[in-house]
Every structure is written in structure tokens, then in C-alpha cells.
A = this chain, B = another copy of it.
Amino acid sequence: MIQNQGLGFSTQLAIATARARNVFGSKRPQLSLITDFGDGDEAVFAVKSAARFVNPRIEIIDICHNVPAFNVLIGAHRLKRNVALPTEPEGAVYVAVVDPGVGGSRDCIIVKTRTGKYLVGPDNGVLSLAFATEGIHRVVLIENRDLTLLDKAQSKTFHGRDVFAPVAAHILRGVPLREFGSDLDPGTIVKIAISTDSTATSRAGWIVDGDGFGVIRTNVPNHVPRQAIGRLVAFTLNGGQVDITDRARLVETFDDSKPGETVLVLSSTGCLDLAVNRGNALERFGINFDQITLDGLQPRLKVSVRFDN
């Protein structure tokens, strides 16, 4: 139904768009924000106020604020997914505030990615899935108090407002990274240990998130054998108290399954989602967000899929 016109129109559009950006000069520097403050929590306003104070020209965009409290895995995964969108611009700055150790000894860092984006947050792993995907260009330790708003603060417990937001806003003003502090060896910063396995007939990976529809998100890439699509495949979930073996239909869209059917969807995220057509997979398999978490630096719940059953 939706077809290529074969006219090179998209190239023309790209040129026209680039021209529009220059002529109108109206693209504002972009700060995107993810936190675990909870939906609608007013603390988000304070973070944005701090950023606008430093740089009133910026546009502040919410990624989401309903990362489960202190859940570094889910925060890291949602940050990564959004930073990695092919539509995200070079030069964009991302602030992640999922920070159980705030006020303690963990560092505050800036990571510039190979893709020209900036990640600002605590050195606790929450930035790590994003920089694993984007590549690390440089890591800087935030040391220069003059580029924070700590001197305005009445407490030590709100680095989102007093450190990360003002630092991000200064980056968007063009302040060079060296002004913020000294370089860190990329090998020394905290990374979530996440990997996937792939054979001709199987995939293995981790449960990394869930959503409000009850979809369970994995980090297993959705490149699967063509002949398996449309068929029932076996999967297992295990870790912590969870030990499940079941079958799901491997589908490209929900329309290829029946209401109530368990499905593994080739998701818009680029990975496999475990879901129930018009139902709730989190409920069906008794999984809650407290289980989609880290044990040390490794996710708790492992997922594997076999295509040869």
C-alpha cells in the first residue's frame, strides 16, 4: 500500500530539510531527559528549571520518568533504545537520573559517543547500554563545581538538578568538555554485563524491560530464520524465582496471531518482544518490574528461544 515512488524524492527532501534548518535557524539545542522520579513528579520541573537557567535556548524533551525507582537496568535500556533511534540528531545531549547512590561516592560523568551524542549521568551503569551501542569517543569526570549549581543547593541529594542538568545545558552552550574535568579511561567506568548468544537454531539473551501493555522486552536481536516466522517456537525464562518453559508464535505483527495467543514479535525496538495478543505477558508469566533488575552488573532474567522444535 505504501510504496517507493522511485523519484529520489527523499534525497530532495533531505536537502530541503537541511536548507530549512539553516535558513530558519530555528532548531533549538536539544536536551532529552530520563529519570525514575515517577510520572508527573514535580521534581522533573526543578531539573528542567536548572537546565533553562544555564541555557535558556534549549528545548527539553522527556524520554520517560517512569523507570521503576532505582532500576538501573531498565533505565539503561530505555536510554539506549532512544539514543539509538536513527532519527536522533548529532549533538543531542541526554541526561539519565536513575541514581540510588546519589550523594555517595559514585562519580558523575559525561560520555561523548562516536555518533556525536553526549550522555550525562552517574557512573553506575545507567549510561552503559547506550554507549555500548553508540561507541565511546571520550569520557570526562565532572569535577568543576563552577559548571554545576551545587552552590545554590540546600542538600546533597539532588544531582539531577544540581549537577547533571546544568552540565548538560553548558555542553549545549558549547562549553568544551575539558572545562568540566579530567578525562577518564573508558575501560574503568561501570558497564552492565549484557550479551546475546546465537546459533543456527537458537537465540539467548536477557529480559531488559517491560511496558504498560504488559509486553516483556528482551535484548535478543530480531534477526531470526525466515522459515521460523509464523510458527510456534519454544522459549524459556529463568533467573531468581522464575523458571518458565513455554511456546510462543513468532510473528512480524500482532495481526499474524490470534487474540490471547503468546507471541514473540519482531519488535519495532529491533529486538524480540514476548507478548500476548491483546493481553498482558507480564501478568501471564507472573513477572514484575522488581524482577527485571540487575544482580551485580548482570540482568537477573535470562531468555532463550529455540527454532527447531
Binding site for B on A (CB under 8 A): 1-5, 7, 9-10, 13, 16-17, 20-21, 24, 26-28, 30, 32, 34, 37-46, 48-50, 52-57, 61-66, 69-70, 78, 81-82, 85-89, 100-105, 107-108, 141-158, 161-163, 170, 173, 179, 211-213, 222, 252-255, 265-270, 278
Contact B278–A57 (Cβ < 8 Å): no
Q: A45-B82, A253-B157 are in contact. Are A56 and B27 (CB under 8 A)?
A: yes
* A55 / chain B contacts, CB cutoff of 8 Å: 17, 20
The one of B62, B145, B149, B254 in contact with A45, judged by C-beta atoms closer than 8 angstroms, is B62
* A65 / chain B contacts, CB cutoff of 8 Å: 40
Contact B255–A38 (Cβ < 8 Å): no
Q: A40-B64, A212-B38 are in contact. Are A161 and B2 (CB under 8 A)?
A: no
Contact B268–A154 (Cβ < 8 Å): yes
Contact B155–A212 (Cβ < 8 Å): no
Contact A4–B252 (Cβ < 8 Å): no
- Give the complex CA separation of A45 and B100 in angstroms: 25
Contact A270–B1 (Cβ < 8 Å): no
Q: A103-B253, A146-B10, A148-B2 are in contact. Are A39 and B42 (CB under 8 A)?
A: no
Could you pull out 18 A-B pairs where Cβ atoms are within 8 angstroms?
A2-B108, A5-B145, A13-B54, A13-B146, A21-B56, A24-B57, A26-B56, A42-B64, A45-B63, A45-B85, A46-B85, A49-B88, A53-B88, A87-B149, A104-B253, A154-B270, A155-B222, A156-B266
The one of B3, B102, B143 in contact with A2, judged by C-beta atoms closer than 8 angstroms, is B143
* A144 / chain B contacts, CB cutoff of 8 Å: 2-3, 5, 9
Shortest CB-to-CB span from A46 to chain B, Å, is 6
Copies of this chain present: 3
- Give the complex CA separation of A42 and B170 in angstroms: 25
* A39 / chain B contacts, CB cutoff of 8 Å: 39-40, 66, 212
Q: Which residue of B lies closest to A46 (CB)?
A: B85
Contact B145–A4 (Cβ < 8 Å): yes
- Give the complex CA separation of A55 and B32 in angstroms: 17
Contact A161–B211 (Cβ < 8 Å): no
- Give the complex CA separation of A179 and B16 in angstroms: 15
The one of B24, B49, B78 in contact with A42, judged by C-beta atoms closer than 8 angstroms, is B78
- Give the complex CA separation of A98 and B155 in angstroms: 29
* A26 / chain B contacts, CB cutoff of 8 Å: 28, 56-57
Shortest CB-to-CB span from A115 to chain B, Å, is 14
- Give the complex CA separation of A34 and B9 in angstroms: 29
- Give the complex CA separation of A255 and B50 in angstroms: 24
